[in-house]
Amino acid sequence: MIGFLQGSPMEFGEETLIINVRGVGYEVHCSKNTLDFVVQKDIVQLYVYTHIREDQFLLFGFHTKAEKSLFMSLIKVSGIGPKMATKILSAAKSEAIFSMIDNSDVKGLTQLPKIGKKTAEQMILSLKGKLVFADDEEKLRKFMAKNDIVSALVHLGFKLNDVQSVVAQMEPETDLHEGVRKGLVALTQQI
């Protein structure tokens, strides 16, 4: 199995990249986010998933471990194959997809390509609370703490826009309890 490639980009397609690794050109399927990241690079480093079927041998490349981790989770969902997972990753940033799944946002997920209501519900059922980004665990933990603070304050009856502006001003390391306390102080002063 091929797990990593490093080489120079030769050709870019709409969803593919041919990477020259010591004279061998590998065609790698990539999300738009990965292609945008590597397009100006002289040397490309990609984490790779090798997809093998009777009639196929495809490579899927990712510029971060986090994107590969989300891809690997998506293809475990019934009805989502590697090409569809790549299209999903092209339509939104990994953090946004994670947030939609974790917040059970069926409407947001159905805005992604080829995702209907049933597939969105299946994604939430299969992945909610189970996603971990290999190289961004600390960043993700902070992101989710802020998400939880927003959710708690909205459930206490404050308007989403007011809550988001208050939470955006909090330090990244603010935990849930401290964030809710600070949010309550700030929001009650606005009333």
pLDDT tens sequence across 143-190 = 656 777 877 888 788 888 888 888 888 887 788 788 889 989 998 887
Q: What is the DSSP letter of 110?
A: T
State in words which class domain 65-127 has.
Answer: mainly alpha
Tokens representing 114 are 């080829």
- Given a contact cutoff of 8 angstroms between Cβ atoms, the answer to whether 179 and 167 are in contact is yes
The residues facing 116 across adjacent strands are none
Tokens representing 171 are 């330090």
Indicate the domain borders of the chain. Answer: 4-62, 65-127, 137-190
Whether pTM exceeds 0.75: no
- Given a contact cutoff of 8 angstroms between Cβ atoms, the answer to whether 163 and 143 are in contact is no
Helix orientation angle between 65-74 and 82-91, rounded to the nearest 10 degrees: 130
pLDDT (0 to 100) of residue 65 = 85
Tokens representing 64 are 């971060």
Calculate the alpha carbon distances from 167 to 31, 82, 94, 102, 175 in Å: 31, 36, 21, 18, 11
CATH superfamily of 4-62: Nucleic acid-binding proteins (2.40.50.140)
Q: Is 33 left (phi over 0), alpha (psi -120 to 50) or beta?
A: alpha
Q: What is the DSSP letter of 136?
A: -
The residues facing 183 across adjacent strands are none
pLDDT tens sequence across 140-156 = 556 656 777 877 888 78
Domains 4-62 and 65-127 share a fold: no
Give residue 123's identity as a one-letter amino acid code.
M
